Chains A and B, each alone.
Chain A
């Protein structure tokens, strides 16, 4: 269980940022707290962003924007997201624990923490999302994930190009609501494909070899083989690297096939 010395609801992002950067090692932005509370962090100042209106999903000017405080559950129920990207965002989170967990856990908490097991991060990567940080500004999610993890900036929102692409998500779990053993997300816009593999168990990453195979018309099975050959996999208590490699082959193929048929939501 964590401890919290002082708890603050900032009135603006600037105020939150000032508080955070006063002592980034001791002060912390709270997300949904489902994961955080199980650790033993000694938090000096807990910064709660729930009064800053960051819980909106909007579609405007060719982008879909998801505020950092949007719950994982909203990704399943929001009409804007249900109609887009083959329904991949709702599908990606639907096996995470239960509704009451997903009403707490946030998109910002999942993405910022760069959890290897994050289903939503894997899906967002396949949609070529960007992240908007309060201080550093907007950068591609893939670039953000490549940076060293530092807690001295605030994730404000995630942006997804609203480009009409369809997408599909596949994951394998030891039991239906457990962490994923492996996850695969594939998106397609015309002949352009994006393939992302998560829970390797390291952070999700793109498989360019699988994308090239799909763009060359070699088919879904070839894409699965390419992802399994290109990416690195690790072992943990849920499964071995060799098992994950085989899963990647199958899940990338299935997600690509679903995309060819129009995506999860069709």
Chain B
């Protein structure tokens, strides 16, 4: 089927197999941040945004994204790099394989939740699995980064 998908602001007018998943579409056209982890709709590694909402690209039909706007980590480079520095500062990047999907969800969380509690952060991120860590390094990084973002926003308002 012929579809038009906007990825990170760039329009892709492509002919795709009807059973192609968005993950395979994105990787085919060079968005290699998108990783296949479990491929069973569970681990969160393949997380991208469709119309600004985090979804599992391994389970999202590419054809369904026709006419929609998709965002991958490549499209959020400044934000991803900023948060990445907080991850590194806490030694939480580890092997890095789960990082793209994890960062996509963290950035979505920051847009969706205002001043989240620890419990709310854990709930929002429970769909992103990391096999290296016990998540405590990531939690330290998230708290430090959210504080930093809050101060930035406070500065903008003042």
B136 at the interface (CB under 8 A from A): no
Whole-angstrom distance between the alpha carbons of A121 and B125 in the complex?
A: 24
- Please pick, from B53, B61, B123, the residue contacting A33 in the complex, using a CB distance under 8 A: B61
Question: Which residues of chain A are within 8 angstroms of B53 by Cβ–Cβ distance?
Answer: 73, 103
- Please pick, from A2, A38, A94, A103, the residue contacting B19 in the complex, using a CB distance under 8 A: A2
1/0 per residue A72-113: CB within 8 Å of B? 010000000000000000000011011111011000000000
B44 at the interface (CB under 8 A from A): yes
One of A4-12, A153-161, A238-246 at the interface: A4-12
Closest-CB distance, B138 to chain A (whole angstroms): 14
Whole-angstrom distance between the alpha carbons of A44 and B18 in the complex?
A: 11
- Please pick, from B19, B56, B108, the residue contacting A104 in the complex, using a CB distance under 8 A: B56
Question: Which residues of chain B are within 8 angstroms of A104 by Cβ–Cβ distance?
Answer: 41, 55-56, 59-60
* Pair B41/A99 contact, Cβ less than 8 Å: no
Closest-CB distance, A252 to chain B (whole angstroms): 25
A35 nearest in chain B by CB position: B41
How many chain A residues touch the partner (CB < 8 A)? 31
Question: Which residues of chain B are within 8 angstroms of A9 by Cβ–Cβ distance?
Answer: 66
* Pair A99/B42 contact, Cβ less than 8 Å: no
A32-B59, A34-B41, A48-B64 known, 4 other contacts, Cβ within 8 Å: A5-B18, A33-B64, A48-B61, A100-B47
Give me the interface of B with A, judged by CB distance under 8 Å. 1, 18-19, 21, 40-42, 44, 47, 53-56, 58-61, 63-64, 66, 105, 108-109, 123-128
Give me the interface of A with B, judged by CB distance under 8 Å. 1-7, 9, 30, 32-35, 37-38, 43, 46, 48, 50, 73, 94-95, 97-101, 103-104, 176-177
